[in-house]
Amino acid sequence: MKSNTINKQEIEKFSKIASHWWNPNGKFKPLHKFNPIRIEYIKNSIAEHFKIKTSANPLKTINILDIGCGGGLLSEPMCRLGAKVVGIDASKKNIEIAKFHAKKNNLKINYICSSPEVLKINKKFDVILNMEIVEHVEDVNFFIKKSSELLKKNGLMFVATLNKTLKSYMFAIIGAEYILRWLPIGTHDWEKFVKPEDLIKISEENHLEIKNLDGFKYDILNNKWKISVDKSVNYIAKFKKN
């Protein structure tokens, strides 16, 4: 069994473009477009699961761990919704960018350069976000195992990633990287994409029960992402810790 989840080539790849995290028209433009639907999905799921009533700070009782937080594109909105957020990333440059941006916006987020298996923290979390990260780690089984260990019983884990289909190769790599140039060439490796049934099997082995499986689809006419029954390219899984 692997004893670490870090893929050095992946970390180097994202460290090189770390300065672009907060540029909505830069190399992370697709994530900026993706963010509103991710935030809405996570917020509504947390509120439903923990029976939280709508308020200005709906997540104020929730402790969130954002794994592979990058420059903080999800950590910051979660903090603004009231959550206590810890963001971790194996790239030192990503963490530096995230810390700088949070400080500039007076947001208290605990950013740590770490991966889940070496995180030194004396608490477990209500919610763990593994968003667009499992396709970049060294060992998915070990990564999910270590993530699950950081989650409280009855807590929620969200995993968003890319399905391993011919369609995902055509859309996410040929289309997004080579034709539309939405992403830098080499951002994704199709061999590392994960089928939903494989993710569910790995998660179940680590005390995580699947609660929802939804697709994300880009709506060209309205220039935005939406929830879809089509899970053939992008999908999100919501798990509960047993």
For residue range 98-114, list pLDDT tens digits in order. Answer: 999 999 999 999 999 99
> What's residue 2's pLDDT?
56
Q: In terms of Cα–Cα distance, which of 139, 136, 157, 24 is closest to 90? A: 136
Q: What's the DSSP call for residue 79?
A: H
Q: In terms of Cα–Cα distance, which of 41, 116, 125, 113 is closest to 83? A: 125
CB 24 within 8 A of CB 32: yes
Choose which CATH entry (3.30.1540.10, 3.40.50.150, 3.20.20.80, 3.30.70.940) describes domain 8-241.
3.40.50.150
pTM higher than the cut 0.85: yes
10 Å Cβ neighbour count for 136?
22
Q: Identity (one letter) of the amino acid at 127?
A: V
Domain boundaries, the chain: 8-241
> What's residue 156's pLDDT?
98
> What's residue 181's pLDDT?
84
Number of H helices, E strands in the chain: 7, 8
What is the rounded distance in angstroms from the CA atom of residue 147 to the CA atom of residue 158?
Answer: 11
Assess whether pLDDT exceeds 70 at residue 130.
yes
Average pLDDT in the 229-237 region?
97
Joined tokens for residue 167 = 């369609």
> What's residue 180's pLDDT?
78
What is the rounded distance in angstroms from the CA atom of residue 19 to the CA atom of residue 33?
Answer: 18
216-226: per-residue pLDDT in tens? 999 989 989 99
| Percent of the residues in the chain that have a pLDDT greater than 90, as a whole number | 88
What is the rounded distance in angstroms from the CA atom of residue 188 to the CA atom of residue 169?
Answer: 9
- Per mean pLDDT, which range of 30-44, 121-135, 164-178 is the poorest? 164-178
